[in-house]
Amino acid sequence: MNHILTCTDGSLYAPSIYEHTAWAASRQGAAVHVLHMLDPHRERAELSDFSGNLGLNTGDELLTELVNFEETKNRLARERGKAILEDARRRLEAAGVQRVTTEQLHGELVETVTAKEEDADLVVMGKRGETADLAKLHLGSNLERVIRASIRPVLVASRKFVPIERFLIAYDGGPSVEDAVQFVMASPFLKGLPCHLLRAGRIDSKAEWYLQEAAAKLRDAEFDVTATATAGDPAEVISEAVKKDGISLLVMGAYGHSRIRQLMVGSTTTEMMRTCHVPILMFR
Amino acid sequence: MIFKNFTKEWFSNVPKDLLAGIVVALALIPEAIAFSIIAGVDPKVGLYASFCIAVVSAFLGGRPGMISAATGAMALLMITLVREHGLQYLFAATLLTGFFQILAGWFKLGDALKFVSRSVMTGFVNALAILIFMAQLPEFRNTGWTMYAMVAGGLAIIYIVPRFTKAIPSPLICIVVLTAISLLTGMGLRTVGDMGELPSTLPVFLFPQIPWNWETLAIILPYAIPLTVVGLLESLMTATIVDDLTDTESNKNRECMGQGASNIVSGFFGGMAGCAMIGQTVINVKSGGRGRLSTFVAGAFLLVLIVVCGTWVKVIPMAALVAVMIMVSIGTFSWASLRDLRIHPKTSSLVMLTTVAVVVLTHNLAIGVGVGVLMSAISFARKAALLMRIGTAREEGSDERTYTVEGNLFFVSASAFARAFDFREVVQRVTIDVSRAHFWDISSIASLDKVVLKFRRDGTEVNVVGLNEASATLVERVAIHDKPGAAANLDLH
C-alpha cells in the first residue's frame, strides 16, 4: 500500500480531490502520482463551414487551417495543465504528502488510468469534472467509465472534504463488496475507524447470516462494527443511514450490472453517487 | 469491440454532424445520378446504393466521419457488365464484391495499403479526378451554348457565393438557381427526370434474378475482382485522408469489412457497388462532420430528399449536376502534385504519371494502381541494391586478401556482388567478411556460392566470416559451397 494515483482536471472539485488524496496518503504513508490529461476531443469538430464546395487544394487548406487552430488552443491547454499540476503539488505538499510526482499526458483518461493503475493501490478522482453540469446532478463524464474499467479501488471525492471519522460498508453480498471487505481488513487505510455494515434491500435469514459472517470477520480484524439489516430500496436506505449516522465515507461495490441492464432499470451506484454527499470508495 | 466507443463515435458531435450530413447529401446526389447514367442503369439504382452504403457503413465502417456511397470509380467498372448481361448481374456482382471485401478485412488486407506508395496514391486521385471530369463530357454532346452557359454559371455560383456567405452550401444554391432558370425560361434543357426512373419508395429487399451457377460466377467474377480492389483502395485512401485531417485513427480492416457489408446490403436492395468518396468526405470534414452520425445523416437525408421531393428533383437540369461534379473533380485532383513534379524525384513523378496514364487509358483504377505499385517496387529494389559496398584490402607482402561486404544482398544486387571480386589475382587465402551484410534471398546465396566455388577451383582457400543469424540459416538451407561434395575439404572454408 504505498502508491496513490490521483486524477485531476483543475475543476471545482480539485481542492477536495487533493485533500482526499492527502488524507489517504497520510493513512498509509503513500507516494502520490498526480495525473492530468490533455484530451483534445478530436471526436468533436471545432471549425465548420457549410459552404459545401471543393476548390483547388481544399484538402490541404483544410489541414493547415485545422492544425493552426488546434495549435493555439492546445498550447493554452498545456500551459493551463502545467499550472493545475503545480497547484496540485503545492497543495499536497502543504498537506504533508512527502513524495509527490506529477505527469501530463495526451489521450483519454479511461485508457490512461487502466494503463497507469498497474502500480497504484488506489485511484482518486472527483465526482464531477469540468464538463459536468452541477445543477443537473450529472456525474463526471469519465467517472463511470473509469470505475467500470479500473481494477483498483477508486476513491470518488465529494465536493468538500470532511475529516473521515466513520465509514459505512454497503453490504450487498456481491463479489465486489467482498473485495471491499478484504481490502478494508488488509490495508492500513481505514484501521481504527468505526465501521457500519449495512445490508439493504430484501432481508431474509440468509442475507442476515451473510451480514453477520462479514461483521464477524471485520471484528476479528479489530474493527468496531455495527451491523444492521434494513428492508427497502437500497439507494434510499443507504443515503438515509449516511445522513443519520454521520457517515463520512461510503464503501461499496460498483456497477454490478451490465450497461444494458442499467439502461433499463437504472443503477444504484449512480444513484448513490448523486444523492450521498460523502466520498465513496468504489470496488468493481 | 464495436460498441466500445459507441456513444463517443455517434453522439459527441451531434449538431455539426447533422448539418454536415445534410451538406454532404447534396454532393452525393449528383454523383449517384450521374454515374448511374454512365453505368447504364436508372438513377434509382445509384440513389438506393448511396442510401444503403452510407447508412450501413455509418454503423459498420472503420472510419467515423468518412462518406461512402455509390461512386464514379466503381460505376466505370460496371459499364460492360450492365450492357452485356443486364441489371440483375450487376446486383450479383455487387454481392460478390461485398463478400470479397469482407474476406479482405478478415484476412487483414487493410494493412496491405502500406505497399501503395505516396506517388501511386497521388496518381490514383488525379486519375479519379480526370475520370470524373471526363464522365461529364457526354452531357455536352448535342447541346447548344445554353448548356455551356448554364454549367459555367453554376460553377460561378459554387465558387463565388461562399465569399459572401458560408451558411448555405453553394452547391445547393447552384442547383436551386439553375433549376429556377431552366423552369422559368423553358429552354428545354435535359433534366434528371429525362434520365430514367427515380426512387419513389424506400428500397425493398430483392434477390437478384439470375441462375445461381458457375456460368454466372464466370460472368461476374471478372467484374467483382476489380470492383473489390478499387473500392477498398479508394476507401482506405480516403480513410487515411480523414485520419490526417482529424488527427485520429481508423480501423482499416474493419473498414474493409464494413465496406463489404454495405455492398452486400446494397446488392440486395437494388443498388450497385460503391465505396468511400474522397471529395464528399473532404466536404464532410470541412463542414464539421466527425462522427458516424454524419455519414448516417448523409445517406438518410439523401433518400428522404429524393422520395419526398421527387417531383422537384425531376426538374433539376443536368447542367446543375454537371457543375457540381466538375467541382468534385476539381476538388479531388491534387493540384499540388503538378507543382511537385519538378521537386519530387524523377522516379516518383514517373510512377505517378504512369498510374494516371494507365487509368485514363483503361478506365480501370485497379490496373493503374497495379502498374504503379509494380513500378514503385522495382524502382525501390533498384535503389536498395545500390546500398551495397565491397571494400578490399591486402597487407603488403602477405598472401591473403580480405573482402568486406556491406549492405543488402538480394536478387538485384547479386550480380554486382559477384562481379566485385578479383579472380585474376593470385593469393593463397581469401576472407569474405559479411558481418555488415544481409543475404535476403536465394539469388544472393547463389552468387555467394558462385564466388566461393570459383575461388576454390583456383585453389584459393576461402573463408566466409560474420554471417548473421538469418543469413546463416539461409546459407545452411540452400547454399552448396558449404556442403560435402561441393569441395573435398570442408575446413578450407
Per residue in B147-175, pLDDT tens?
999 999 999 999 999 999 888 899 999 99
- When scoring A38, A39, A43 by the number of chain B Cβ atoms within 10 A, the one with the most, hence best to mutate, is A43
- How far apart are the C-alpha atoms of A131 and A143, rounded to whole Å? 12
Q: Would you say B487 and B459 are in contact if contact means Cβ atoms under 8 Å apart? A: no
Cross-chain residue pair B169–A56, CB shorter than 8 Å: no
Residue in chain A lying closest to B238 (CA): A59
**Yes or no, beta carbons of B336 and A55 under 8 Å apart:** no
The top-level CATH class assigned to A1-41+60-158 is alpha beta
pLDDT tens track, chain A, 284 positions: 589 999 998 888 889 999 999 999 988 888 999 999 888 788 888 888 888 888 888 888 899 999 999 898 889 999 999 999 999 999 999 988 889 999 999 888 888 888 888 888 899 998 877 665 555 555 666 788 888 888 899 999 988 888 889 999 988 878 888 888 998 888 888 888 999 999 888 888 888 888 888 899 999 988 899 988 888 888 888 888 888 888 999 998 887 766 665 655 557 777 788 888 899 998 88
From chain A, the residues in CB contact with B159 under 8 A are: 53, 55
CA distance B268 to B95: 8
**Do A214 and A197 contact (CB within 8 A), yes or no?**
yes
ipTM, two decimals, is: 0.82
**Residue spans per domain, chain A:** 1-41+60-158, 162-283
Contact criterion met (CB < 8 Å) for A54 and B287: no
Please say whether the beta carbons of B25 and B301 come within 8 A.
Answer: yes
Q: Which residues of B are less than 8 Å from A47 in CB distance?
A: 288
Whole-number pLDDT of residue B225:
95
Dihedral sign from CA coordinates of A147, A159, A34, A165: negative
Query: Are B287 and A48 in contact (CB < 8 Å)?
Result: yes
CB atoms within 10 A of CB B249: 11
Residue type, A110: V
Regarding predicted confidence, which is higher, B477 or B256?
B256
Q: Which chain B residues contact residue A148 at CB under 8 A? A: none
C-alpha–C-alpha distance, residues A94 and B29, integer Å: 65
Answer whether B327 sits within 8 Å of A54, measured CB to CB. yes
Which residues in chain A touch residue B26, judged by CB atoms under 8 angstroms apart?
52
Q: Say if the Cβ atoms of B26 and A55 lie within 8 Å.
A: no
Q: What is the mean pLDDT of residues B12-24?
A: 92
Q: Which carries the bigger pLDDT value, residue A130 or residue B422?
A: B422
Q: Running DSSP on this structure, what letter comes out for residue B487? A: B
- The class of domain B388-492 in CATH terms is alpha beta
Nearest in space to B331 (alpha carbons), one of B283, B397, B380: B283
Topology at the third CATH level for domain A162-283: Rossmann fold (3.40.50)
Q: What residues have CB less than 8 Å from A154, skipping those under 6 apart?
A: A122, A123, A124, A125, A146, A147, A254, A281, A282, A284
pTM for the model: 0.85
Q: What element of type H or E holds B199?
A: none
Q: Say if the Cβ atoms of A50 and B287 lie within 8 Å.
A: yes
Where are the domains positioned within chain B? 6-379, 388-492
Q: What share of chain A is helix, strand, coil (3-state, %, to 5)?
A: 45, 20, 35
| Average pLDDT estimate for B414-434 | 90
What would the DSSP string read from start to end of B393-446? EE-TT-SEEEEEEEEEESTTTHHHHHHTS--SS--SEEEEEEEEEEE-SHHHHH
| Average pLDDT over every residue of B475-493 | 63
pLDDT tens sequence across B317-337? 999 999 999 999 999 999 999
Closest by CA to B242, choosing from A168, A128, A45, is A45
Q: What is the pLDDT of residues B49-106, one digit of tens each?
A: 999 999 999 999 999 999 999 999 999 999 999 999 999 999 999 999 999 999 999 9
Average pLDDT over every residue of B458-487: 82
Q: Span B193-212, mean pLDDT?
A: 86
Tell me the pLDDT band of B492, cut-offs 50, 70 and 90: very low
- Compute CA distances A186 → A1, A191, A249, A258, whole Å: 10, 9, 18, 29
Using a CB-CB distance cutoff of 8 angstroms, which residues of chain A are in contact with residue B64?
A: 43
Query: Rounded to an integer, what distance in angstroms lies between the CA atom of residue B47 and that of residue B319?
Result: 19
Q: Do residue A45 and residue B13 have CB atoms under 8 angstroms apart?
A: yes
pLDDT, mean over chain B: 90
Q: What is the DSSP letter of B234?
A: H
Tell me, yes or no, if the two domains A1-41+60-158 and A162-283 fold the same way. yes
Cα–Cα distance between B351 and B379 in angstroms, integer? 9
**B8 vs A contacts (CB less than 8 Å):** 43
| Spatial distance between the Cα atoms of B345 and B380, rounded to a whole number of angstroms | 12
